[in-house]
Structure 1
C-alpha cells in the first residue's frame, strides 16, 4: 500500500466520478486529488512545442502517452516522465512541457491503463487495491522499453536517455535505471526504496543497486511519513556497495518537506523545495550525459 500518497491528500475526503474532468491523457486531474490547490498550480504553455496524446505500440497493445517536445527539434534528448499512482493527468503533462521547454522530447506513458483508469478513482485506497497493486513491474519495464523505441523512431536521441518519476514513478525510476543499459541518468522524486517482495513487484530499489546502469539522484522529504529517513540511509549503504553507476548516485533530502512536495496542485506542495529540486534535476541530467 502506498500510504505516503494517502497521507499527502486531504484527509477524510472521498470523491466520485462526477468530481473528475478528464477527456484525454494529460488533461484534467485525477478524482482522488480533487479539489486542486488552484492558487499554486503551475501552468506551462505549449508555445513553440509539439504536444498531445500519442499511441505507442507495446506488442499488440496500444499504449496511450502524453508527448511534449520542441517544435521542429532535431535529435532532442529523450526523457521518460513517470507519474504518481494517479496516472497521466494535467500536472504530469505540465512537467513534460517543462522538460520540452528545456529541449527534451518528454514522454509520459499511461502505465496503469491495462489494469484500469487510475484517474477515475475517487478513493485512493480503492485505487491502490484495484489497479496499482495489480500492475506487474515486468509489464512496466516492457512498456517503457516500447516507449523508448517509439521515441527513437520519432527522431529522439536515445543515446541521451533519461528517466524521472514521482512517488510510484520514483520507485520505477530506480528500477528502470537497473533494467535498461541505455539510460544515462535518472531522478527519483520520493520513490519508495524498500518494501515487501510480492510476485508482481518482486524487487525494490535497494535490491537492484548492483545492476544500476545509470546514476540516480534521489530527491526526498525529511517529513515524509511513508518513506522514513532510515530507508534512505539503508539505500546509501547499498549504493556504496553497488555498481559503478550506483556509487555515483546521490540523495538530497529537504528536511522540512513532506511527501509529494513537488506536486503543485496538492496541499503537500513546498515551493522552495520543488524549485530547488527542479534545478538539481536539470543539472544532474546534463552532468550525466542526458541533456
Structure 2
C-alpha cells in the first residue's frame, strides 16, 4: 500500500483523543516540530512504526487553527491591527506585528508575545487577543515578515525561520518589544511571554533588556546561559511541561543560577503535560493545565506591570 493510500485509509477509520495517541507518535511529532523534517517524512515515519492507526494519530497532531481560536478577531472588546516598525540591525530593517488593544482610551501595560519556530501563526495571534482581553496592550511580532511573513502553514514557516540569521531574528523581535513598550498607548511597563522558541527568546530578553523588562513568562523555552543570569532584573514565571526532556534538562542549572544570583522567579511543572501543552490547536493541549498556566500568567503580569 502506498503512503497516500495508507493515509487515506488510516484517517478514515477513526479519530483519536490525546490519551489514545501512542507516545512514540508524540515523540516523532516533537522531532517534526523542531527539526527540518517535512510533513511527508513525518507521516511516512509514523507509518513505519507499525502502530495500528499510527498515521491517523500523526495527522491528529497537526494543528487545526480555524477550530481553535478562543477569541475571534472580530470580538468587540478588542481592536486588532497589523503595524510596521523600524528594526535597525535586523533582517531587513523593517518589521511587522499584530497589535491588539483593549477597548478604552488607555494607556495600558504592554505585553509582547513571541511565536514559536514557525512565525506568527493564528495561535499566537489568538494568544495576543487573549492578553488584550485581560487589559494589556498586546503585540506579537512576525519574525518572518522580512522574507514574506508567515506563509499560512507551519511547515513552510518552520523552514523559512530556520533559514534566517538567528542574531538578526532576535534583534527584530527585541525591537518589537521596545516598540510596544514605547507605544503611545503603553504605560511603559512591559511583560514578555513566548512559547517554545519564543520561551527561549523571553529568557534572552530578560538578559538583554535588564530593568527595561518588568516581567517575563517563558513557556517551555530554552534557558538563559548561567553566566548571563546576573544581568537578569525582571521577575520570571517559568512554565514547564512535565514530559519535555529537551527543555527540562536545562531546568536544574537555570534555577540554581537564578537562586545563587538572588533573582526573583517562580517555576511550575504542569502534571500530565507535554511540550506545547498550552497550544489548543493540537491534541498536545491540556485544557485544565493550560488554564492554570494562563491564569498564573495573567496574575503575574497584573502584579508586576501595575
Q: Runs of 4+ in structure 1 displaced over 6 angstroms?
A: none
Query: Which moved further from structure 2: 183-192 or 218-227?
Result: 218-227
- Alpha-carbon distance in 1 for matches of 2:98, 2:147: 18
- Deviation, 1:151, is 4.7
- Any idea what SS the aligned residue of 2:250 has? helix
Answer yes or no: is the 8 Å Cα contact 1:164–1:170 preserved in 2.
Answer: yes
Alignment CA distance shift 1:279-1:231 (3 Å): same
Counterpart position of 1:240 = 259
Deviation string for 1:190-247 (max 9, x for gaps)? 0022xxxxxxxxxx444421110201111111111432x34211211111122x4xx2
Counterpart position of 2:104 = 72
Deviation string for 1:78-98 (max 9, x for gaps)? 010000112112111111111
Name the TM-score, length of structure 2 as normaliser.
Answer: 0.73
* Uncovered stretches (5+) of structure 1, i.e. residues with no partner: 16-32, 194-203
Say which of 209, 217, 221 aligns to 1:191: 221
- Alpha-carbon distance in 2 for matches of 1:120, 1:14: 18
Answer yes or no: is the 8 Å Cα contact 1:49–1:69 preserved in 2.
Answer: yes
Give the number of the structure whose residues are more often helix, by fraction.
Answer: 2
Does structure 1 residue 84 correspond to structure 2 residue 116?
yes
Does structure 1 residue 145 correspond to structure 2 residue 175?
yes
Answer yes or no: is the 8 Å Cα contact 1:171–1:205 preserved in 2.
Answer: no
Alignment CA distance shift 1:271-1:122 (3 Å): closer
- Deviation, 1:38, is 6.0
- Alpha-carbon distance in 2 for matches of 1:192, 1:133: 19
Counterpart position of 2:231 = 211
- Alpha-carbon distance in 1 for matches of 2:253, 2:146: 34
Alignment CA distance shift 1:211-1:71 (3 Å): same
- Alpha-carbon distance in 1 for matches of 2:39, 2:204: 32
Alignment CA distance shift 1:211-1:127 (3 Å): same
RCO higher in structure (CA 8 A, sep ≥6): 1
Answer yes or no: is the 8 Å Cα contact 2:65–2:122 preserved in 1.
Answer: no
* Uncovered stretches (5+) of structure 2, i.e. residues with no partner: 1-27, 42-60
Answer yes or no: is the 8 Å Cα contact 2:143–2:172 preserved in 1.
Answer: no
Larger Rg: 2
- Deviation, 1:43, is 3.5
- Alpha-carbon distance in 2 for matches of 1:223, 1:120: 29
Does structure 1 residue 169 correspond to structure 2 residue 169?
no
1:3-18 to 2 correspondences below 5 Å: 5-6=30-31, 13-14=39-40
Alignment CA distance shift 1:226-1:116 (3 Å): farther
Counterpart position of 2:273 = 257
Counterpart position of 1:51 = 80
- Any idea what SS the aligned residue of 2:293 has? helix
- Alpha-carbon distance in 2 for matches of 1:41, 1:149: 26
- Deviation, 1:52, is 1.8
Answer yes or no: is the 8 Å Cα contact 2:117–2:161 preserved in 1.
Answer: no
- Alpha-carbon distance in 2 for matches of 1:273, 1:8: 22
Alignment CA distance shift 1:252-1:4 (3 Å): farther
